[in-house]
């Protein structure tokens, strides 16, 4: 099978209705959710203030990966995104493997977001058990995805607007407090950064290992390339969205994490529980802690919404190219892949059921442990695919609006950096289980991918 063989697609059921502003906000919604608002507490606890370096390094990697994806997506916008590109330039087995790994990652994330959101609901309304809250939240977002893609886009747009406004206010307050300009408070200076056991109280190895949790937090920026297949003007929308990734990561992630570890002791239990609610509570602002919890809940719902969309569209795209059960490619009269939506939510539903029998913290930690390193594998696939496709894309699209800078040197550095994260996981006892689980899932997906490719080639020869 040729490395650049194009596979027949049948995405005719999907509708090109998402606007450029909706597509940009969908990308923001995918990356700013429980991974940042809640999961960042675990990351801070694992490495201390030096976790800022983990967020900065992973942020640079993700920006580069998005540039690679932008180059491939503007050349050929499709709802299959990098799964389709991997099939074209590496073989059907690669598209099968990365597509299923990506869908698996999002399916697990859906459960993660549902449990995180349920925990917030339980804090606001203690009478509501977490399993019931998770079921309601998950059911609501499934319903939104089943209506129309316009409904999904509208919900995601306003969810993202709330998150952007909140983080901007959070950053302004943080800067004012640090400069000792916020009424009624005193600047902690650098006390929390270096006075609680040092900048890296758990050693520099913990900073590398913290990158795994950080990778999980950043996962979602690539949603814009998956949604490109349903955009009104995909090439322009993807170009605009890719450009926004740089400032979004610098401002929202690195900036807000810097505010948290500067204003709060990194080992505070409140930081572990919900850092974005802990900071205003620590400042003594009335009602702000409760308001922040409500806003964080909106952020979780947004990421839950994006997760169902992303996983369902990837499953739909793979079914259209015979890499998934054909039923997942079916769309209803409104252009919604109904079976794919329920397939995407399946692990989330099972997670909610498990949450009825197990403590919330057990579910929360298991989800992070079992899925964090899958994001690294998916990004490695994207990097390799870009290496294989770059010359062909540039040759056939000389005026392409998004182009990877510094090729091939920057691409090689990013690839080596991701390998370094994997090596770090392999040498650390606390992350070896997660790495082994990810390796097992990856190997299984590759083996089945080769079997599926052989089956497709045999069917093609007979036809």
| CA trace torsion 304, 74, 343, 445 (10° rounding) | -110
Q: Is the dihedral of CA 151, 157, 162, 167 positive or negative?
A: positive
Mean pLDDT of the chain: 84
- Looking at the chain, the whole-number percentage of residues with pLDDT higher than 90 is 26
Highest mean pLDDT among 247-256, 266-275, 376-385, 398-407: 376-385
Average pLDDT over residues 288-293: 79
- Given this model, what pLDDT does residue 449 score? 95
Lowest mean pLDDT across 118-132, 225-239, 358-372, 393-407: 358-372
Cis peptide before 408 (omega within 30 of 0): yes
Give me the pLDDT at residue 348, please: 82
Determine the Cα–Cα distance for residues 191 and 243; give it in Å rounded to an integer: 36
Q: What is the dihedral of CA 132, 138, 35, 128, to 10 degrees?
A: -20
Which pLDDT does position 358 carry in this prediction?
Answer: 67
Task: Please tell me which residue, 22 or 273, carries the higher pLDDT value.
Answer: 22
Bridge partner residues of 231 (DSSP): 18
> For 2-11, 22-31, 161-170, 409-418, which range has the lowest pLDDT when averaged over its residues?
2-11
The full DSSP string for 360-377 is HHHHHHHHHHHHTTHHHH
- Identify the pLDDT of residue 120: 85
Rounded to whole angstroms, what are the CA distances from 131 to 106, 114, 270, 305?
20, 9, 23, 18
pLDDT average, residue stretch 227-250: 76
At which residue do the structure tokens 């490695």 appear? 380
Q: What is the pLDDT of residue 184?
A: 80
pLDDT band at residue 296 under the 50/70/90 scheme: confident
Per residue in 150-164, pLDDT tens? Answer: 898 898 888 888 888
* Band of residue 89 on the pLDDT scale cut at 50, 70, 90: very high
Residues 52-87 have pLDDT tens digits of: 998 998 888 888 998 898 888 888 877 667 899 999
Which of 346, 323, 341 is closest to 331 using CA atoms?
A: 341
Q: Rounded distance, CA 39 to CA 273, Å?
A: 9
Q: What is the rounded average pLDDT of the residues 22-37?
A: 72
> Is residue 9 scored above 70 in pLDDT?
no
Between 331-345, 379-393, 397-411, the lowest mean confidence (pLDDT) is in 397-411
Q: pLDDT tens digits, residue range 322-349?
A: 999 999 999 988 889 999 999 999 888 8
Confidence of residue 260 (pLDDT cuts 50, 70, 90): very high
Q: Pick the residue with more confidence: 256 or 184?
A: 256
Dihedral sign of CA atoms 90, 93, 97, 100 in order = positive
Q: What is the mean pLDDT of residues 215-242?
A: 78
Q: pLDDT at residue 354 above 60?
A: yes
Q: Are 40 and 260 in contact (CB under 8 A)?
A: yes
Whether residue 292 is predicted with pLDDT greater than 90 in this model: the reply is no
Q: What are the φ/ψ torsions at residue 164 (nearest 5 degrees)? A: -60, -45
CA atoms within 13 A on the CB side of 228: 29
Farthest-apart Cα atoms in the chain, separation: 78
Position with higher pLDDT, 369 vs 45: 45
C-alpha torsion angle, residues 23, 31, 306, 125 (rounded to 10)? -130
């Amino acid at each position: 099978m040729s490395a650049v063989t194009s596979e027949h697609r049948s995405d005719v059921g999907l509708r090109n209705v998402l606007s450029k502003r909706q597509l940009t906000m969908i990308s923001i919604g995918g990356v700013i959710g429980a991974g940042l608002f809640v999961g960042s507490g675990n990351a801070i606890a694992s490495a201390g203030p030096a976790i800022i370096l983990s967020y900065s390094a992973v942020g640079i990697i993700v920006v580069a990966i998005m540039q690679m994806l932008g180059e491939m997506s503007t050349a050929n916008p499709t709802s299959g995104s990098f799964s389709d590109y991997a099939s074209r330039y590496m073989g059907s087995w690669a598209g099968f493997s990365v597509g299923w790994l990506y869908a698996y990652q999002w399916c697990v994330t859906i459960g993660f977001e549902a449990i995180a959101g349920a925990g917030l609901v339980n804090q606001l309304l203690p009478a509501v058990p977490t399993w019931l809250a998770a079921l309601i939240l998950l059911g609501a977002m499934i319903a939104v995805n089943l209506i129309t893609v316009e409904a999904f886009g509208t919900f995601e747009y306003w969810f993202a607007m709330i998150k952007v406004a909140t983080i901007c206010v959070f950053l302004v307050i943080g800067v004012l407090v640090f400069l000792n300009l916020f009424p009624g408070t005193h600047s902690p200076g650098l006390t929390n950064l270096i006075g609680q056991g040092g900048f890296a109280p758990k050693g520099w190895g913990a900073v590398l290992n913290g990158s795994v949790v950080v990778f999980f937090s950043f996962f979602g920026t690539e949603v814009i390339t998956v949604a490109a297949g349903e955009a009104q003007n995909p090439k322009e929308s993807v170009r605009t969205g890719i450009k926004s990734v740089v400032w979004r990561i610098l401002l929202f992630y690195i900036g807000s994490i810097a505010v948290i570890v500067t204003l709060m002791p990194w080992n505070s239990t409140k930081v572990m529980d919900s850092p974005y609610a802990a900071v205003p509570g620590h400042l003594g602002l009335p009602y702000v802690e409760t308001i922040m919890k409500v806003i964080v809940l909106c952020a979780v719902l947004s990421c839950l919404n994006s997760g169902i969309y992303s996983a369902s569209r990837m499953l739909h795209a793979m079914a259209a190219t015979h890499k998934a059960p054909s039923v997942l490619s079916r769309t209803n009269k409104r252009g919604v892949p109904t079976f794919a939506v329920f397939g995407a939510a399946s692990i989330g539903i099972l997670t909610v059921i498990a949450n009825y029998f197990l403590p919330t913290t057990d579910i929360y930690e298991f989800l992070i442990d079992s899925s964090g390193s899958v994001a690294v594998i998916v990004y490695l696939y994207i990097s390799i695919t870009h290496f294989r496709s770059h010359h062909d894309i540039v040759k056939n699209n000389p005026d392409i609006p998004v182009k990877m800078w510094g090729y091939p040197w920057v691409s090689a550095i990013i690839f080596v950096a991701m390998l370094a994260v994997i090596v770090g996981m392999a040498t650390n006892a606390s992350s070896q289980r997660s790495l082994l689980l990810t390796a097992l899932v990856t190997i299984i997906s590759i083996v089945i991918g080769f079997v599926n490719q052989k089956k497709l080639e045999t069917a093609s020869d007979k036809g």
